[in-house]
Structure 1
Amino acid sequence: MPRMVGRAKRIPAPVGLQSMALAPRHLSLLAYLLFDGPMSINELAARLEVAPTTVSLLVSELSQKGVLERREDETDRRRKIVSLADAHREAIDAWLGQGAGAWRKALEPLTAAQRRMFIDTLLAYERALGEERALGEE
């Protein structure tokens, strides 16, 4: 697991994004928007498991850099919908899509039951890490 994380962290950001000082906190947000499409601040906050104010700050930062775009929700003008800026979509896809392609290749030969077991194992690992952290904070 540490090798996989280390290798993923070493994938350089695309040339057009390198000067933007993107940090790991930005990557998950960009990945959700890339793979799941535009969504609201609250939807992003729920997926990232952080407060909406945190997501709002990240979105503001990335919007100022031209990486993200915000628009009013057609059905509720009070909500803002966040999406990747077209100018950077291709570079972000090439960058973050590498990981998605690797997962597809690794999981393809597995049966549906084997994939489910693998995902369940990763989720159990994540829960156990959360439990360890909670114990350490007591």
Structure 2
Amino acid sequence: MRPRFGKPDLTAGTSCAQARETARRLLAEQDIPPVLTDDVLTVVSELVSNAVRHAGGVTGFQITVQTGQVIVEVSDGSALQPHLRPSSPDTPGGFGWRVVKTLAPSTFVRFNRNGKTITATIPTS
């Protein structure tokens, strides 16, 4: 079994700032390099802000460091699948899901009776 270092779930109403601070502390404790920390914090920010903006808010947040990867899980109460929006010079935003999928190529959505959980895995090497 690989070593796991995680932070317990943050509950409903977690803000981007709270989620980033939780991630920042865990990553610092595990000596994750600054470049990788920036990528993880970007994924955290995008997933949490999308949950707040499009899904009624965060219902759970978990970050785990394992050998070779950092796993970010964000839950919300929406049953809607995230999707890529077409780029438009007239509409701001719309890049979050594309950024997440680029930085965390192994990202999947798990639906449950209370909404969904997005799990984004960022490789550390």
Return the TM-score normalized by structure 2: 0.26
Structure whose alpha-carbon radius of gyration is higher:
1
Higher helix share: 1
Higher strand share: 2
Larger RCO (CA under 8 A, 6+ residues apart): 2
Return the TM-score normalized by structure 1: 0.24
